[in-house]
Amino acid sequence: MSVPIFSLVTTPRPDRLSPVLTAVYRELARAEPRNDGMLFWYDQLVSRGSLLGYVNADHWAVATPLTRELRAMGFLFHDTVPRTLLVEAAIEVVDEALGARPR
């Protein structure tokens, strides 16, 4: 039995990118415009895994509510990601994928 792995790819439009990531985003965009200020989109995929989906947000925005965690530096981040909805959608997709697998 193998454990399924799912990837969630972050590819923000420039207006959804946290300002703190702008310089790196621009540098990476010279090689690949679909990046999140930290990684190219394809570097976020796990080999032999399944694609869960794409999010119009940057790497940090999906992972952590930094505007709340780092209030004094909140202006550096755009992290208005509906994380609860994202997790619920991920659970539904994973549940459906696992339900379709032969046992």
Examine the pLDDT at 69 and tell me if it is beyond 70. Answer: yes
* pLDDT recorded at residue 74: 77
Q: Of 51, 54, 52, 57, whose CA–CA distance to 37 is shortest? A: 57
* Per-residue pLDDT tens over the stretch 11-25: 999 999 999 999 999
User: Where does residue 102 rank: exposed (0-12), middle (13-18), buried (19+ CB within 10 A)?
Assistant: exposed
- In this prediction, residue 68 carries a pLDDT of 82
pLDDT band at 103 (very low <50, low <70, confident <90, very high): low
Kindly list the domain boundaries of the chain, sorted by start residue.
6-99
Q: Taking the alpha carbons of 28, 29, 32, 35 in that order, is the dihedral positive or negative?
A: positive
Question: What is the rounded distance in angstroms from the CA atom of residue 59 to the CA atom of residue 18?
Answer: 9
